[in-house]
């Protein structure tokens, strides 16, 4: 007699698209199927950039209805993960006090310097273990309080984007731990808000509700949503609500404390640890301590990733000269690399004419400017591989005995050229996949919440049996050693 098939719905929202994915589990095999995909992009209004929250939510409800038609009573659970740091403010009646801001909005300009004046960057690091980046929630809230305080004044609760969606799905207000850890307001390695820090920076602590763990059942879909979707009795759970937390949970590693690269709009490169590292060395190397499933820490560095290619493609598409991503990569294979860039240069952080801005950066650095799209794509990919190498060298200086394997997951793991460059540049064996690691990790968390599996290790074992990775072995290191020396002169 075969085991019944259970279907877990993973709502996975990135900064450019959203999906409703189905994780179907029967016996020892997990399969991931896409149910519904929809665009997600910022909306520019009179005061800046926001997210179209209502549009996103309606797309999610549509996807849940599609899942009900496809899988029927097999559906047992749903969980939400999204990108980090962004939030909505809820008033006492449970309504949004304002349209959620988009993290790339410029209102946070100057907030890092102001926080430095008030408490000091070193104190921020020691208290939270999070590197100061312009989009961190703490700086967004500072900006909101100073520039447009109306929503904060009306708000009773802050909910991060996945928490806000959970609230709309279930009626339960809960702030999940992994997404809260991206804020720069949680005490390092804990589920406790640094209330003193918030008050010093002018952030009203009344909006910071107690933090809920991942892998917890919140309750059933509300009657309204159950009626709209025909998913009666389906439970809403917390997962690693920050998409990187779910992506790292979806790494099919057999050993503890794996090295990981979650490759998408951002490249999140680091190692899963058992505890936070708030040493001076970690601060100086610009690592952050974000939290994961089962009390783990994602000790990582944020690197601008496929964002650079996405913005180039947008500009080329608008000019009528664009290619799809696979064609871009194929063209880059045979192209000469004439320059490198720092992927994290401030000029590249926000939407712009990326090809022109990259060209200007290269010219300013004294290098030869690429003369074709293929050369520019090659420049971006080699620069990412070299930045990964530099980041891993910084990690090796902090921790001895690093693994010899780097797990690359997420949409970027389909880029075989970048995977081989990464293996060659770092000297590590690269294991690429699963592509849908975020949805996999989301599903694993739901299985843990329901008691269908007993540990993260068991979940990763299921993933290892369910998906075949692509392996990239490093080749001759000498050419990349020479490239790294030149790159290190550009990127201090």
Instruction: Assess whether 243 carries a catalytic annotation.
Output: yes
- Contact indicator for 84, 135 with CB cutoff of 8 Å: no
Identify the active-site residue in 194, 243, 277, 342: 243
Q: Among all residues, which ones are annotated catalytic?
A: 243
């Amino acid at each position: 007699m075969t085991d019944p098939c259970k279907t877990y719905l993973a709502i996975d929202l990135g900064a450019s698209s959203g999906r409703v994915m189905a994780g179907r589990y029967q016996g020892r095999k997990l399969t991931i199927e896409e149910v519904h995909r929809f665009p997600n992009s910022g909306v520019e209004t009179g005061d800046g950039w926001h997210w179209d929250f209502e549009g996103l939510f309606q797309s999610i409800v549509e996807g849940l209805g599609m899942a009900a038609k496809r899988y029927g009573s097999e559906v047992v659970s749903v969980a939400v993960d999204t990108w980090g740091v962004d939030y909505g403010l809820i008033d006492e009646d449970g309504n949004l006090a304002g349209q959620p801001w988009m993290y790339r909005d410029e209102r946070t300009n100057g907030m890092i310097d102001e926080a430095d004046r008030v408490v000091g960057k070193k104190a921020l690091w020691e208290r939270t273990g999070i590197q100061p980046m312009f989009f961190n929630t703490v700086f967004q809230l500072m900006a909101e309080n100073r520039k447009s305080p109306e929503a904060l004044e009306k708000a009773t609760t802050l909910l991060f984007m996945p928490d806000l969606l959970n609230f709309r799905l279930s009626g339960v207000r809960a702030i999940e731990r992994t997404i809260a850890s991206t804020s720069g307001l949680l005490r390092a390695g804990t589920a406790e808000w640094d209330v003193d820090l918030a008050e010093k920076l002018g952030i009203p602590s009344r909006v910071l509700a107690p933090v809920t763990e991942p892998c917890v059942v919140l309750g059933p879909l509300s009657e309204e949503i159950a009626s709209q979707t025909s998913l009666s009795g389906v439970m809403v759970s917390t997962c690693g609500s920050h998409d990187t937390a779910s992506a790292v949970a979806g790494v099919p590693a057999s050993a503890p404390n794996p090295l990981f690269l979650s490759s998408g709009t951002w490249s999140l490169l680091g190692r899963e640890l058992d505890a936070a590292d708030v040493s001076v060395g970690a601060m100086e190397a610009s690592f952050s301590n974000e939290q994961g499933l089962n009390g783990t820490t994602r000790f990582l560095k944020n690197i601008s990733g496929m964002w650079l290619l996405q913005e180039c493609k947008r500009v080329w598409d608008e000019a009528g000269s664009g290619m799809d991503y696979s064609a871009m990569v194929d063209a880059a294979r045979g192209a000469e690399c004439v320059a490198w860039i720092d992927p994290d240069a401030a000029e590249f952080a926000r939407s712009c004419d990326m090809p022109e801005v990259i060209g200007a950066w290269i010219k300013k650095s004294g290098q030869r400017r690429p003369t074709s799209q293929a050369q520019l794509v090659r420049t971006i990919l080699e620069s990412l591989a070299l930045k990964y190498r530099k980041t891993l060298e910084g990690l090796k200086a902090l921790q001895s005995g690093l693994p010899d394997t780097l797990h690359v997951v997420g949409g970027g793991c389909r880029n075989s050229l970048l995977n081989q460059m990464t293996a060659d540049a770092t000297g590590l064996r690269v294991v690429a996949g699963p592509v849908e690691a975020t949805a996999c990790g989301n599903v694993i968390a739901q299985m843990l919440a329901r008691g269908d599996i007993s540990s993260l290790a068991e979940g990763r074992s299921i993933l290892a049996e369910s998906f075949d990775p692509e392996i990239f072995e490093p080749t001759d290191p000498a050419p990349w050693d020479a490239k790294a020396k030149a790159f290190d002169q550009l990127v201090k």
